[in-house]
Amino acid sequence: MSKPIVAIVGRPNVGKSTFFNRIVGRRVSIVEDTPGVTRDRIYAEAEWNNIHFALIDTGGIEPSSADIILSQMREQAQIAMDMADVILFMCDGKDGLTTADREVGIMLRRTGKKVILVINKIDVPSKLPDDFYDFYELGLGEPIAISSANMLNFGDVLDEIVESFPKDIYDDEEETEF
């Protein structure tokens, strides 16, 4: 059984590459203040509680308008849908829920794949922004507040990721111990 694939999808600048680099423990993906600098899909191996998986960072090239951002997000979401076992949908807690988030949320919901909703840039978890609860409108379950900058609540996200892998992956892991 090959490793499960987890893809990170979300608008430019929400912090996908920052999260990716923190999880893989290396600076593999480019982090920039300019939106859209992740030029390609970037893969790395990741591990949590002895469960190994492949993590994919997605991004677009210099989107200059809301339309392009949206079409690139559609493309990313499509790639993630096709490839991933689990989709990590990242939104920006400082920006709040946007139209593009809603559009991609609808696409992701339709895939029937496991989607984990993470709201990044919640640097002070005890102070959730008032509009945090808007993210429930996406219909993707409970949003997990994280800060990629400070690695806050990563354990919750990683637990949820590995728990959502197909059961036979765990069986595989156990078998290798005998």
Cα dihedral: 125, 104, 34, 157 (round 10): 30
Which residues in 49-82 belong to E strands, given as ranges? 51-57
Stretch that binds ligand GDP, among 47-55, 111-119, 126-134, 147-155 (CB under 6 A): 147-155
Q: How far is CA 93 from the centre of its chain?
A: 14
Stretch that binds Mg ion, among 52-60, 115-123, 138-146, 152-160 (CB under 5 A): 52-60
Hey, is 38 helix, strand or coil?
coil
Among the listed residues 8, 10, 17, 21, the single contact to Mg ion using CB under 5 A: 17
Stretch that binds ligand GDP, among 32-40, 48-56, 109-117, 128-136 (CB under 6 A): 32-40
Rg over alpha carbons for the chain, rounded to the nearest Å, is 16
Q: From the CB of 25, what's the least distance to Mg ion, in Å?
A: 17
Please report, in angstroms and rounded to a whole number, the separation of the first and last CA atoms in the chain.
17
**Cβ nearer to ligand GDP, comparing 35 with 96:** 35
Which spans of this chain sit near ligand GDP (rule: CB under 6 A)?
10, 12-18, 31-33, 35, 38, 59, 120-121, 123, 147-149
